Amino acid sequence: MSKNTKRNYQWISFDKDKCISCKKCVDYCPRDVLRLGEHGVPFMKYKDDCWYCDVCSYICPKNAVILEEVPYLIK
């Protein structure tokens, strides 16, 4: 990866069809890394600060938050 390559990674995904924009995942995130984006669907604003604690997926009433993969350094 060159210095000019934008790092576009995201370990958490959000199912926009299931999400009801309740904002619970944003409110309960202990590291305050999530924000509501377009159409009320959350996204990881501060990806490097995420602890991968899985609170966001646990608290979601519609199971719309999925922890895709934990980075290899955390495993």
pLDDT in tens, 6-57: 445 567 899 999 999 999 999 999 999 999 998 899 999 998 898 888 999 9
Q: What pTM does this model have?
A: 0.77
Contact 48, 12 (CB under 8 A): no
End-to-end, the C-alpha distance of the chain in Å comes to 23
Instruction: Identify the CA nearest to 17 among candidates 35, 41, 36.
Output: 41
The C-alpha atoms of residue 6 and residue 53 are separated, in whole angstroms, by 25
CATH level 3 topology of 12-67 = Alpha-Beta Plaits (3.30.70)
